[in-house]
Amino acid sequence: MLVLTVLISTGLRWRDERMARMAPRRPARLGLVAGVKAKANRWVTAAALAVILTLAILGGLHWINVWAE
């Protein structure tokens, strides 16, 4: 789940950077507190998505095993 969290966080960071580049004007630099909050928000979001994905995968594997019996 840790690897999945890191991969999702990397994808979210890439998306944030890409959206900032496509913006019509240059974004303002974040202060120290705002930058830490943005990173923490990204990691919490990534962890939540990793948990949901892990539950879905393991639950699906469980039900495949139940139906196979």
Report how many domains make up the chain: 1
pLDDT of the residue at 27: 64
pTM attached to this predicted model: 0.78
* 3-55 pLDDT tens trace: 999 999 999 999 988 888 887 776 667 788 888 998 999 999 999 999 999 99
Q: Per-residue confidence at 58, pLDDT binned at 50, 70, 90? A: very high
DSSP the chain: -HHHHHHHHHHHHHHHHHHHHHSSSPPPPP-HHHHHHHHHHHHHHHHHHHHHHHHHHHHHHHHHHHHH-
pLDDT of the residue at 22: 82
Which residues constitute the domain of residue 8? 2-68
